[in-house]
Amino acid sequence: MTNYHSIGDVEDGRPIEDDTTFIKPWWRSLLKAIVLIVCIGLLFDIDGIIGDSDLIVATHGAVASELVNCSVIGIDAVDAAIATQICIGTINAFSAGIGGLMMIRLPNGTAEFIDSRETAPKAARADMYKKNHTWSAIGGLAPSIKLSRYGFPVPPELDRRLK
């Protein structure tokens, strides 16, 4: 928006430099009010800013998952990561299974990424787990087989999608 200083400038349509000196005190007051509100909010709701430490269920590492039942399974980091993906594929089948990305931070500080988007291993086939029955009792599939067999609380998003 262009400000005009005189009637002659307005009539001639000549723009001049914007004079924003009248805005500065108002802007400064608004900024002070925002900072004050944020500081008061931090004093009363510091837990909301820091976060809830109860959400992290880990002692030697962590596997990030949208479902607590899937985050707590597994023996070590690798087993937990695989079991968590299979578990999410069981409970939230609409948002997991084929596809996705796994990011692994290795102890030496490097990272590995596994892109499992719409691909299966070359040797994969439909009956590849039928021959090894021990995987239903032990191994990465056991927690998800238990969930499938005995049921699980239906997450709100799955309930919404099933309706």
List, for residues 20-37, the tens digit of each pLDDT value. Answer: 555 567 677 888 888 888
Length of the chain: 163
The bridge status of strand 111-115 relative to strand 101-105 is antiparallel
Q: Which residues fall in the annotated binding site for L-glutamate? A: 117
151 Cα distance to chain centroid: 25
Q: Which residues fall in the annotated binding site? A: 117
Query: Residue 147: pLDDT above 60?
Result: yes
pTM over 0.85: no
- pLDDT tens track for 93-103: 666 555 667 78
Q: Is the model more confident about 12 or about 89?
A: 89
Q: Is the model more confident about 45 or about 111?
A: 111
pLDDT of 109 reads 86
Mean pLDDT within 148-160: 78
